[in-house]
Amino acid sequence: MKYVFFVTTVGSIYNAVLPLIEEKKNKGEILIVVATDEAEKFFSEFTDFNFIRIKVNPNLITKKNKYKIFANILRSKIEFRKLFKDIEGAEVYFCGYRFSIVIFSYVKKLLKKNKVFNCSGLPDERFDKYPVEHGFRAFIMRWIAKWFMGVETVVSDDKGVPVWMLDECFFKDITVLKDYGDKSKIISEYLPKLEILKGKTILIMMVDLLESGGNYAEPESFIKAMDDLMVILNDEFSDSYLIKPHPRENRLYGKMLECEEIIPSYIPAEFILHHPWRFVIGIISTSLVYAAEHTDSTVISIMDLFKWNDAANREIKIYREEMKKVNILIPKDINEFKGLLLEEKSR
How far apart CA 186 and CA 90 sit, in angstroms, is 24
Between CA 319 and CA 317, with CA 330 as vertex, the angle to 5 degrees is 25
The average pLDDT across 44-55 equals 91
Question: In the predicted model, is pLDDT for residue 172 greater than 70?
Answer: yes
User: What pLDDT is attached to residue 192?
Assistant: 59
The average pLDDT across 237-254 equals 89
What residue type is 136 in one-letter code? F
For helices 334-345 and 219-236, the axis angle rounded to 10 degrees is 20
User: What pLDDT is attached to residue 84?
Assistant: 96
- 295 alpha-carbon distance from chain centroid: 20
Q: In this structure, are residues 330 and 301 in contact, taking their beta carbons and an 8 Å threshold?
A: yes
2-187 placed in CATH 3.30.70: no
* pTM for this entry: 0.85
Look up residue 130 and give its DSSP letter.
P
Q: In this structure, are residues 207 and 252 in contact, taking their beta carbons and an 8 Å threshold?
A: no
The average pLDDT across 45-67 equals 85
Report the run of H or E that residue 245 belongs to, with start and end: strand 241-245
The average pLDDT across 4-13 equals 92
- Residue 1 three-state SS: coil
User: What pLDDT is attached to residue 127?
Assistant: 46
Mention every residue, 6+ apart, whose C-beta is less than 8 A from residue 284.
207, 301, 303, 315, 316, 319, 323
Q: How many CB atoms lie within 10 A of CB 346?
A: 6
Biggest CA pair distance of the chain:
64
Question: In the predicted model, is pLDDT for residue 280 greater than 90?
Answer: yes
* Nearest alpha-carbon partner for 165 in 104, 229, 210: 104
Domain boundaries for CATH 3.40.50.850 within the chain: 194-345
- Residue 150 three-state SS: coil
Q: Write the pLDDT tens digit of every residue in 105-132.
A: 999 999 999 999 998 655 554 445 677 8
Q: Write the pLDDT tens digit of every residue in 77-86.
A: 999 999 999 9
The terminus-to-terminus CA distance of the chain in angstroms comes to 55
User: For 194-345, CATH number?
Assistant: 3.40.50.850
204: left (phi over 0), alpha (psi -120 to 50) or beta: beta
Burial of 159 (0-12, 13-18, 19+ CB in 10 A): middle
Q: Write the pLDDT tens digit of every residue in 302-345.
A: 999 999 988 778 778 888 988 999 999 999 999 999 999 988 66
